[in-house]
Amino acid sequence: VPLEAFHVREEVETGQFDKDLSNRRKNTSDDEEEPWIEKLGKDDIRKAREAQERRKRKLVQKWQVGSREELLEKLLWYLEPSETPLELLGRLRPKKGKKKKGVKDDDPERRTKVYAITEICEELLNTYCVHQIYDLSREMLMRAFKQITGVDYTARGVKRSAEEAEIEPGAIPERTGQQEDDQQKDTEQEHGPKVWQFRWIGKSDINGPYSSYEMAYWVENYFENRAEARKCGEPEFVHVSKLDFSE
């Protein structure tokens, strides 16, 4: 009877020994799943794979879009004192009466700014979970920037007057009451009276008031059916898709 060669390393790797020290080969077929895998349903396996893919995509996104402080620095460059990203987007809108219905906006510089600001905010929201990014004021974002970096934010490449140069780096001069009133009047002349409030679905913070013109623009471009609104003084909020903001 011919003797079969016995390789201990190979036998250990490809099988297991019973109580009589007889080697039994492992089933290496791909068709047979491990017992713990058999207990999992197809939905569980699919969800686990999707979660793993999401983690990979987020990791790749963080490398591609830049760090959180870089995004904050870019956003702060666009904002004026006390302004939120949402108010900034409203400020960059075409002025009322200058855009005819059915005619596309022909200002490429304005469009580029709007796209850049929106992209920055969405990256901060989705990649870095900076919630309510659209509602945070410039000063709040500056404090967040300092907490992350340990230094005050200073705008790069911006020429300052002699008076401004006396201001401590990172400090923001406050607007006077008259400046606030003038801005309010200018906005109402361009966009109409501010009669609407809105809030993000699932959130309790109320934003506003804003004009019908501003609300109609945000419904079309920014809300993505994630907001509800009401007229000032009304008790109940209604989904923005069910409201008429045309004048």
Question: Could you tell me if residue 47 is inside a domain?
Answer: no
Tokens 């500056």 sit on residue: 142
In this structure, what token pair is assigned to residue 136? 């945070």
The C-alpha atoms of residue 75 and residue 64 are separated, in whole angstroms, by: 17
Distance from C-alpha of 199 to C-alpha of 237, rounded to nearest angstrom: 8
- 1 in a structural domain: no
- Where among 154, 177, 202 does a domain terminate? 154
The DSSP symbol for 220 reads H
Boundary (domain end) residue, out of 102, 125, 154 = 154
Domain that holds residue 243: 192-247
Helices (H) and strands (E) in the chain, counts: 10, 6
- Establish if 149 belongs to a structural domain: yes
Nearest alpha carbon to residue 173 among 78, 82, 75, 86: 82
- 184 within a domain of the structure (yes/no): no
First-to-last CA distance in the chain? 100
| Residue 166 counted as domain residue | no
Residue 241: HSE in the Cβ half-sphere, 13 Å Cα cutoff: 5
Per-residue pLDDT of the chain (247 residues; tens, 9 = 90+): 555 554 555 554 555 555 454 555 555 554 555 555 566 667 777 888 888 887 766 655 554 556 888 999 999 999 988 889 988 988 887 766 555 454 455 678 888 888 889 889 988 888 888 888 888 889 889 988 988 888 888 875 443 333 333 333 333 334 444 444 544 555 455 567 888 888 889 888 888 788 888 888 788 877 888 899 999 989 999 999 999 887 6
Q: Output the pTM of the full model.
A: 0.45
